Amino acid sequence: MSLLSGIFKRSTSGGPRTLPATQEGAFDDAKAAEYADFVGATGLTHTPPMAFHNLCFPTTARVLGEPAVPARLFGLVHESLTWEIIEPLPVGVPATASSLITRTNRQRGLSIEVASVVAVGETVHYVERAVYYSRKPLRGPAYDFDHIGVPPDWDGPEIPDLRGQFGTNDVGALDIEQRVATATRHLTPDTGRRWAKISGDVNPIHMSNASARPFGFKSAIAHGAAIEAWAHASLGVNGTAPCSGAAKFRAPTKIPNEIELVPFGDGLYGVVEARSGRDLVHLRINAGRVGAAEVPPTRIVIPRHNGRASSTALGQATFTAAAEGDAIQRAVVSARNWRKDYREPVRQVAILDDPAHGPDAAQRALTYLEGNVTTADGTPVGRIEAGVNVPLGLRVVGQGSPRQGLAIPHHGALLEGVALDEQLTRWTANGMMTAVAAERLREVAANPQWLALSDTTIGILGAGAELAPTRFLLDYGATVAGVIRPDSSRHSALVSDARTLAGTLDLSPAEASDITEQTGAIAGWMLGRNPDVVVETLYAPGADFVLLELGADAIMRNVAAESDALLAWYGTPTDAYPIGAHRERAGGIARRQRPRRFPLGLLQGTPAIRDGIFNGIVDYQGPNYILAKRIGRWRATALAAQGKRVSFNIAPMAETESVLVSKTLVAAYRGMEKLGLEPVGADTAAAIMATLLVWDLRNPHTANADFLTEAAVPSGLWSQDSEPQDLMKRAVLLGSGAFIR
């Protein structure tokens, strides 16, 4: 019987093979390049463990496909692997691989043990024992043989059982507790096909959903060896030194997927599914270089919930803490799917964290985050302290002359004097901004000496952000202490612009530039600049935004404790705010009438104001965005109650890069213009917000109960009767032409 017929056989015949099958092969430069590209390694000089395993695959497939084997080759699942590199083998050296089925076990289905050896002449370089499982075994003989090439005293490392050693959690998966992943990997739909090309293992269960279904799998599953190869590369195990290991492939790894490599100590690792926390592969690795890919101990990490790092669970728990002791807490806790159901509970929490009701709800939320979110080494974020002796970093002294008088860019022109005043009147009338915000902009224009900022140092977290006031402030001669990563795509442009402007730009050094990894160092660096103001203008997509805001909050907390600087945040109009049942707390915002050219049914929707709370939350942004933005708002509320100087001004909807990459948001913005709303360019928004910041700097005052909402630029959203959630849907329809451009 041929190998091909063995793949589809219906019965067994003949006797078992007693001598190994052999084949010559080499892990040459071309294969090394493909392997390295798959696992994310560079410069492979020796054969790594799973490349040895691939050299054994042709002979393994041959013995598994023989007539006497009581299983079909296709459909076999890799169950476990024990291996050892006894003598490293350089890339390109030809070797002989040999394989033999040595044991079978029918206690549950059928397990087939295959022993393999890779040798050059008499020198054994690699030994492995692989176990495969068949869900639908055939009748046939039992196997009990020894591979003559395996060293007689070789047994290999013990196959790990992490569940048996560390227990299970509430959902029955491996109990990971709060261990931090050392690496993550996104398995794309072509992962199985890519590894099949590298390894030669074209088992249909790995190739596609359609080819996997006949063998009992709803979707394609990743090769166990592919996952182990990625784990080895992540940990620096590259075959250059003797090493050994073992793997238990506990559950099929569906693709596409996202997986994490989690350390358990003493060479033990678990590969878990990121979205569920389900443990997929248990690994034991005995090698001196293991740990090379450890996460920086100071990096802030999302806490785990039943094995998975979940910003969603963190958000629900934080809002639950904010609502503790109130009936609203039930609304938060009872949201079964927080990602879909968060809008209403978060709106209700806005009743509680209203500054008019005191800082208790805000402080409860902050206390929860400070105690339950940690860095990778387990330090709670509430205990992150400012570093000391942090170097200055890059200083750029501008060669320009300070601008005189307020000028705000708008549609390619500069609004100054009468033109600015007239535009402020229009913006106030259409609800683009509150009357208070417009009046403050006029006051800055009327007092140009306030813009003489040569004696002022302003710290900016996120100095390269499009809405950051960096360039505006430098134009007026300020010293800006900016935090931005040196590898940021905006770093060089910022430096170039600073040279032509009037102020001085101090950029944080490399060791104090990553807000989620170098939080304490940034706090120390910022304090070392002795700032008059520190403003936070950060943004990132998804859970990364939450992490950034947690880092920024720790920095602002340290600055507040050690200085008298004005601390400033930019709010978003798409959150829930206490503006009053009749908008009386919204700084004199104008109320807009429905445009006559649209039928009533098009603009009707859920009332925007209920319980005195304007609900501006839109589903498109998601619960991570709201949690991230609420963190700064809670900190501002808590500090204001302590008598600290705070600034919280709500930024307009702006046409930033993060918006313009989304056709849905582009369509929504175009449609909003047709509804009488007014998104503005990023340069206009940045200048407006910088001017409001200057007003707060030059007019020290105690924050009142309406400080969150009085100086707002909500782009007309607060003037509508329907929630932005409904307006957004209608705006997308009205602006749908953006989808075909």
Residues 145-185: tens digit of each pLDDT: 999 999 998 999 999 999 999 999 999 999 999 999 999 99
Which single residue is written with the structure tokens 């024992």? 129
Whether residue 256 is preceded by a cis peptide bond, meaning omega within 30 degrees of 0, is yes
pLDDT band at 1 (very low <50, low <70, confident <90, very high): very low
Residues paired with 85 in a beta bridge: 126, 243
User: Using the 8-state DSSP alphabet, how is residue 118 labeled?
Assistant: E
What pLDDT score does 91 carry? 96
Q: What's the pLDDT band for 593 if we cut at 50, 70, 90? A: low
Dihedral, CA of residue 637, residue 639, residue 645 and residue 646, to nearest 10: -40
How far apart, in whole angstroms, are the C-alpha atoms of residue 445 and residue 425? 14
CB 307 within 8 A of CB 276: yes
pLDDT tens digits for 34-81? Answer: 999 999 998 899 999 999 999 999 999 999 999 999 988 877 888 999
What is the structure's pLDDT at 677? 77
Whether 115 and 60 have beta carbons less than 8 Å apart is answered as no
Alpha helices in 309-378 (DSSP H): 311-322, 328-333, 338-341, 343-352, 360-372
- pTM of the complete model: 0.86
**pLDDT band per the 50, 70, 90 thresholds, residue 318:** very high
What is the C-alpha separation between 638 and 479, in angstroms, rounded?
28
Q: How far apart (Å, rounded) are the C-alpha atoms in residues 715 and 538?
A: 20
Mean of per-residue pLDDT scores for the chain: 91
DSSP 162-211: HHHHH-B-TTSSB--TTPPPSEEEEE-TTHHHHHHHHH----GGGT-HHH
- What is the residue type of 172? G
CA angle (25 as vertex; 20, 26 as ends), nearest 5: 140
**Rounded Cα distance, 93 and 258, in Å:** 35
Q: Write down the pLDDT at residue 628.
A: 98
What is the Cα–Cα distance from 514 to 544, expressed in whole angstroms? 12
184, β-bridge pairs: 260
What's the confidence (pLDDT) of residue 602? Answer: 47
The answer to whether residues 284 and 235 touch, using CB atoms and an 8 Å cutoff, is: no
User: Token pair for residue 604?
Assistant: 């009707």
Q: Are 714 and 708 in contact (CB under 8 A)?
A: no
For position 596, what pLDDT does the model report?
Answer: 46
Q: Helix, strand, coil % (nearest 5) of the chain?
A: 35, 20, 45
- Least confident segment among 22-31, 105-114, 503-512: 105-114
Say yes or no to pLDDT of 597 above 60.
no
Strands 95-105 and 21-25: what pairing? antiparallel
Amino acid identity at 452: A
pLDDT-based confidence at 737, cuts 50/70/90?
A: low
Q: What pLDDT is attached to residue 291? A: 54
Of the candidates 187, 342, 359, the one whose C-alpha atom is nearest the C-alpha of residue 273 is: 187
Q: Could you tell me if 338 and 647 are in contact, meaning their C-beta atoms sit under 8 angstroms apart? A: no
The whole-angstrom separation of Cα 680 and Cα 583 is 23
> What does the pLDDT read at residue 724?
84
Return the sign of the alpha-carbon dihedral for residues 512, 518, 519, 524.
negative
Are 236 and 290 in contact, with CB atoms under 8 Å apart? yes
Query: In Å, how far are 77, 133, 631, 656 from 250, measured between CA atoms?
Result: 11, 12, 39, 46
Coil, strand or helix at 331: helix
Query: Residue 701, exposed/middle/buried by CB under 10 A (0-12, 13-18, 19+)?
Result: exposed
* Per-residue pLDDT band at 720 (split at 50, 70, 90): confident
First to last CA, the chain: 60
Single-letter amino acid code for the residue at 459: G
- Between CA 248 and CA 455 the distance in angstroms is 64
pLDDT for position 678: 76
Confidence of residue 654 (pLDDT cuts 50, 70, 90): confident
294-311 per-residue burial string, b: 16 or more CB within 10 A, e: under 16: ebeebbbbbbbbbbbbbb
pLDDT at 726 over 90: no
Q: What is the pLDDT of residues 515-532, one digit of tens each?
A: 999 999 999 999 999 999
> For 362-397, what is each residue's pLDDT tens digit?
999 999 999 999 999 999 999 999 999 999 999 999
pLDDT of 740? 46
pLDDT at 658 over 80: no
Cα 56 to Cα 118: distance, rounded to the nearest angstrom: 7
What is the rounded CA–CA span in Å between residue 359 and residue 23?
Answer: 73
pLDDT reported for residue 243: 96
Q: What is the pLDDT of residues 208-243, one digit of tens each?
A: 999 989 888 889 999 999 999 999 999 999 999 999
d(CA 278, CA 281): 10
Which pLDDT tens digit goes with each residue over 660-701? 566 666 666 666 666 667 778 899 999 999 999 999 999 998
Q: Is residue 355 classed as helix, strand or coil in its secondary structure?
A: helix
Beta bridge partners of 97: 23, 118
Instruction: Assess whether pLDDT exceeds 70 at residue 736.
Output: no
